[in-house]
Amino acid sequence: MKKGLMAVLFGTLLVLGACGGANDNANEPAQNNDGGTEEPANEGGTVDTAAAEESYKKSCASCHGEDLSGGVGPSLEKVGADHSAEDIKNIIENGQGSMPGGLLSGEDADQVAEWLAQHK
């Protein structure tokens, strides 16, 4: 019983520890009219960076780190160098390895996938 409790506490600490981190953006994108930011997307559209970052923080940062540096999950700092936006969206929706699928869907999954694909 004590081992199980310790495992739960340790897991909780890992998840909570992944929530911190700095957000050092060397290249700040321009703001759009609704207060969000937009950057060119890989597929020819635009990415609402503010919306993508918010979705990422709510659903991904606890494992991948607020600054994309990793934690329980792998670093995503250069995920776009190895995966296209389509590949990333597939991983978000269907999961991969120990990552469960379905943490984001629809427009949220699209925006986060496009945003992460820009990290090369």
Residue ranges covered by each domain of the chain: 37-120
61 with 19: CB under 8 angstroms? yes
pLDDT at 116: 97
| Strand partners for 39 | 47
Q: What is the pLDDT of residues 32-64, one digit of tens each?
A: 444 444 444 444 458 899 999 999 999 999 999
Measured CA to CA in angstroms, residue 46 lies from 32, 71, 114, 115 at distances of 11, 29, 9, 9
Q: How many angstroms separate the CA atoms of 61 and 73, rounded?
A: 9
Residue with tokens 């991948």: 64
Give me the mean pLDDT over the 62-82 stretch: 96
pLDDT at 46: 80
Q: Is the per-residue pLDDT at 83 higher than 60?
A: yes
What percent of the chain lies above the pLDDT cut of 90? 61
pLDDT at 54: 97
pLDDT at 24: 39
Residues with Cβ within 8 Å of residue 28, at least 6 apart in sequence:
37
Determine if the pTM surpasses 0.75. Answer: no
Q: How many angstroms separate the CA atoms of 98 and 107, rounded?
A: 24
Q: With bands split at pLDDT 50, 70 and 90, how would you rate the model's confidence at 113?
A: very high
Identify the CATH class of 37-120. Answer: mainly alpha
